[in-house]
Structure 1
Amino acid sequence: MLGWRLLISAILIPLLFGLFYLDQRAGVSAPYLLGLSCLLIVRGSWEITDLLTVRNLVPSFRLVCGLSLSICVAAWVPFLQGASSDPQTLSLALMAVTYAVSVLIIFLKGAIQFQEPGQSMETIGAEILSVSYMGFLLAMLAELRWVLGPETGYLALGSLIISAKMGDIGGYTFGRLWGKTKLVPRLSPGKTQVGGYGAIFGAALGAFLWLHFTISLFHSGWMASPWYWSILFGAIIGVVGLVGDLCESLIKRDVGKKDSAELLPGFGGLLDLLDSPLYAGPVAFLLWKLLPLITVAN
């Protein structure tokens, strides 16, 4: 199983970065990334609403998918229109407002469909969680494409994906080879304390390699900062990504399921692939704003 997971990762990550290469050449509007994000939202919305259709929870796939797509597209509007004055600030504002309106729409739908006590609030909560997870967090993840301005390209987004997935691989590898003591046995029986250290190590290594050997490919005037900043970035992403994995496990365990769906053998569903990057996206955005991860050549 370890070899299979490594093989799938070795196939998926180059394909993803091939798509990013094409999108980089397409310009600031990032049409390929928008298309990929919409596809992920459709599939992810189906998975999470199907996952949460238990007990008194009856989330609507069409509502969750429609609202999640609206949040994502709203965040893209300034870049599609070529807004010249701080498009990312406008993008974040539109994304936040669309998310707030989505919550209002979910409540309105619950009020219209109300029949008797015992189901409405559970379903409303499930739909808000689903839209937050697949709509807001995925749109926030995509914002890394422009975090340092239009010239950022996929440097920041790539740093998160490499760190998060290297953390997943490191955690799984260390856990399988040397892990004995369970990390959170009731929530995720397969995760060990050694695996947690492996996740941090793998994420830190991935960030270091990415930020020290690819920066010049994105901008000729940028250079790598001192090594400890990339290590710090990766280590934080490793911790946050591990928490994101545990939080997705919380959803699955509470509804009594092992995987979110059957998409890829050894990985589960799309949500099982996206859990770490989605959870770590907002943190990565803040780190890129706060840490000197690049230096500008004189």
Structure 2
Amino acid sequence: MLGWRLLVSAILIPLLFGLFYLDQRAGVGAPYLLGLCCLLVLRGSWELTHLLKVRKLAPSYPMVCILSLLICIMAWIPFLTSLDGQTPPQTLSLALMAVAFAVSILLIFLKGAIQFQEPGQSMETIGAEILSVSYLGFLLAMLAELRWVIGPETGYIALGSLIISAKMGDIGGYTFGRLWGKQKLVPRLSPGKTWVGGYGALFGAALGSFLWFQITPALFHSNWSAPAWYWSILFGAVIGLVGLVGDLCESLIKRDVGKKDSAELLPGFGGLLDLLDSPLYAGPVAFLMWKLLPLITVSS
């Protein structure tokens, strides 16, 4: 199983970065990334709503899917409509994304009010739909914002840093846990997680981040070079830790509804949500660190 997970990761990650390469050449509007996000919303909304259909929870797939798409598309509007190559400020995209999220909450409550029949179910369903839109629509749109966090032409160095760090953390955690893990980390929530696996997640993410920042800056911009080694390692270690928490949080959802995986999409990985858990959770933290830390060095 370990070899299979490594093989699938070795195939999926290059394919993803190939898509990023095409999208980089397509301009500031990032149409390929938007298409990918829409596909992820379509599949992820189905997984999450079906996962939560237990007890008195009855989230609507069309509602969650449409509202999650609305949040993503609203975040893209400033970049898709930019004229004469002028890039709008990212604050406009973030503001539209936040407004779309707020409107989504209002629409979910409105739907609940219209469909109300008797006490005992409405709040559970409303809560499940808000959770679904928040987890998939808002966090996915926030993750995509890394595309523009340091400029429209070179944004994929930021998005790539998150993906490499998060997935290397997943690989490191799984590898260390399978080879040497004994003491359970959170046995009631995720029986497969061990303390050694947690250390492996930090090590793998820090290593992936260090290599990414050592190799790629000059590929994105001729005046860029690697940051100080400790910033690279700090970024990766934080992403590894937050990604591990994201994995546990997705496990919380699955365990509470009595499921092992979100779906059966890839053997050894589970569903799409099982692949996205750590990047989704770590996205806002990565965005903040790119704003606060000197993660690239600009040559004069």
- In structure 1, which of residues 124, 127, 131 is the aligned counterpart of residue 126 of structure 2? 124
Deviations 1:235-279 (A, max 9, x none): 000000000000000000000000000000000000000000000
**Contact preservation (8 Å) 2:28, 2:87:** no
Residue 14 of structure 1 corresponds to which residue in structure 2? 14
Indicate the SS of the match to 1:57. Answer: coil
CA distance in 1, matches of 2:88, 2:24: 19
TM-score (norm 2): 0.98
Matched, 1:113 2:110: no
Task: Report the number of matched residues.
Answer: 298
Residue 79 of structure 2 corresponds to which residue in structure 1? 79
Residue 174 of structure 2 corresponds to which residue in structure 1? 172
CA distance in 2, matches of 1:113, 1:88: 38
**Contact preservation (8 Å) 2:79, 2:88:** no
Structure 1 ranges of 4+ moved more than 4 A: none
The within-5 A match list for 1:1-298 is 1-82=1-82, 84=86, 86-298=88-300
**Contact preservation (8 Å) 2:44, 2:273:** yes
**Contact preservation (8 Å) 2:71, 2:97:** yes
Q: Tell me which amino acid in the other structure corresponds to 2:134.
A: S
CA distance in 2, matches of 1:273, 1:87: 31
Sequence identity (%) = 84
**Contact preservation (8 Å) 1:57, 1:123:** yes
Indicate the SS of the match to 1:69. Answer: helix
Aligned-residue offset at 1:151: 2.5
Deviations 1:53-112 (A, max 9, x none): 000000000000000000000000000011646431100000000000000000000000
CA distance in 2, matches of 1:82, 1:89: 14
CA distance in 2, matches of 1:85, 1:26: 14
**Contact preservation (8 Å) 1:200, 1:239:** yes
Q: Tell me which amino acid in the other structure corresponds to 2:30.
A: A
Aligned-residue offset at 1:149: 1.6
**Contact preservation (8 Å) 1:79, 1:87:** no
Structure 1, gaps ≥5 residues long: none
Deviations 1:191-232 (A, max 9, x none): 000000000000000000001101111111111111000000
CA distance in 1, matches of 2:234, 2:81: 36
* CA RMSD of superposed structures (Å): 0.8
CA distance in 2, matches of 1:288, 1:131: 25
Aligned-residue offset at 1:150: 1.3
CA distance in 1, matches of 2:216, 2:51: 38
